[in-house]
Structure 1
Amino acid sequence: MKALVTGAAGFIGSHFVRMLLDPAQDGERHTVTAVDSLTYAGNRENLAPVRDHPGLRFEQADVRDAALLDRLVAGHDTVVHFAAESHVDRSIDGARDFVLTNVLGTQSVLDAALRHGARVVYVSTDEVYGSIATGSWPEEHPLRPNSPYAASKASGDLLAQAYHRTHGLDVRITRCSNNYGPYQYPEKIIPLFVTNLLRGLTVPLYGDGMNARDWLHVDDHCRGILLALRHGRPGEVYNIGGGTELTNRELTDLLLKACGAGPERIEYVADRKGHDRRYSVDWSKARRELGYEPRRDFTAGLAETVRWYRENSTWWEPLLRRPAR
């Protein structure tokens, strides 16, 4: 595979690149062009384990630069599109960057892939579905995003489907649940809470803490994407779930215990605007068509993640001093 990976210096994109370049993980040899604009959440250090790999080439580029992206996609048979503005709170404060990157950037990716005959995996999110009180969303469920972030991802999702239906572009879409693992930028709940606790600070818990999410280890997510590349059907959508649903309060209690802290370290804060109450994806289609099953036990995976942040403060401490833009 000659793959171009956008958002390749981010949390999930970098894990996917490391997986592709590890023969023990995938069993095949690939070449990868890693593309990232290196905004606040993009970090070249996320690719340090494969920095000297002969199959890796890094390009600092913005997916919104259509002409540059067109030149980069040439010669690749596969594009895996992770690049996105992804933090809900930031999208509430200002949606413009989310629309430009997640919608127009996706259009640039799709146009370049169409011109050069590359297949595309568009990495989406369960947040495009909105909120569900009971049960789980199948892939056919209508998209009802509530945050500006989710709406921008849903727009890219629909563009990807339109390029398949209109142009016959080979596009596969994955919609994942909440990811966790090492190298996650410390604005998301698990790394934020862990790094706060390690520094002796409180953790900000929204509302009553009863918002529920399904948790998916980044390694399982990236395996699911790879399975969609190998066995997925063009034009199809595949949910990728982790199988561990927790309220934010339950998750907080686990993180407090893992960091040797008590409930007095919880600071309840005003709830986020439009905060979705519950997410849950039905990933039976991915099991049936792709052979996907999550392998990472959540208890062990969370312990490993906390340990990684505890042992790698030299990675995350500089990020806390880094300007957001």
Structure 2
Amino acid sequence: MKYRDNAQLDASQMGSARGGGRGRGGKVALGGGAGLVVLILALLFGLNPDDLLGASGPQAESDQAPASQASTYEQCKTGADIARDRDCRFVAYTNSIQSYWAQAYVGYRKIQVIPFTGQVSTACGTATSAVGPFYCPGDTTVYLDTAFFDQLTSQLGAQGGDAAEAYVFAHEFGHHIQNLTGVMGKVQSQGAGQTGPKSGGVRLELQADCYAGVWLKHAANDPQSPIAEVTRDDLRRAVDAAAAVGDDRIQKRMQGQVRPESWTHGSAEQRQKWLMQGFNSGDPNTCDTFASGAL
């Protein structure tokens, strides 16, 4: 993934873990980077990931986006800073994704990404690094476990790279779009125990994958975007990451057998398919994983 050196970065979209806990409750939306411990427990024992997180209360959106806070990303001013400080790439991903959705979704309001290590307090409850990156609808915030990308390559076998990381970011923002459209609330209101290849939970995750693909298609189109080019290799790495976090791939790696009835995020094939659906179409309207016959 190539960056525009002269593109301006907005570090105010990155918050501090001290900002967690605002809002009025909700369930954690496990995303493309659902943490290893939580996801493996769910897959091995048929548990609902939300039940492992201590999240409770009705799903709700905060009245306003979290206030900007001082963060470790204040030094990230332009795309050129990414070469000097690799952490600035997180700002670039966030800025590009939100810039796209601001013009693609009427009424979109920019939110924050809050990096954390160990554990973090959110409106969806206290989450540990076992959760990995996730979106909390209660405070409309994406929480970034900064150690996850090492797990993605070392434990899940993904090739990694910036495009793979950006896919995970974009997936979490896909959950934010689902929160805005009301789709997330409808699925979560159906309660726990939604597992299986065609379950509501899996459809939710695959739609977020599709939204990630849509953004990837448009990431370099805006001349103001910090993303200058998405290459064929970038797309290959993003698709590879989507496959690596497929339920069947994780089950096979961790327990040596596949149990589709316990899937919570979709198979490697499903995740690749819907990521490519979004990329090939470039249109979020083609991401209706809830349509009859979609799965």
Between Structure 1 and Structure 2, which shows a larger proportion of strand residues? 1
Coarse TM-score class (shorter-chain normalised): under 0.3
Larger RCO: Structure 1 or Structure 2 (Cα < 8 Å, ≥ 6 residues apart)? 2
- CA radius of gyration, larger in: 1
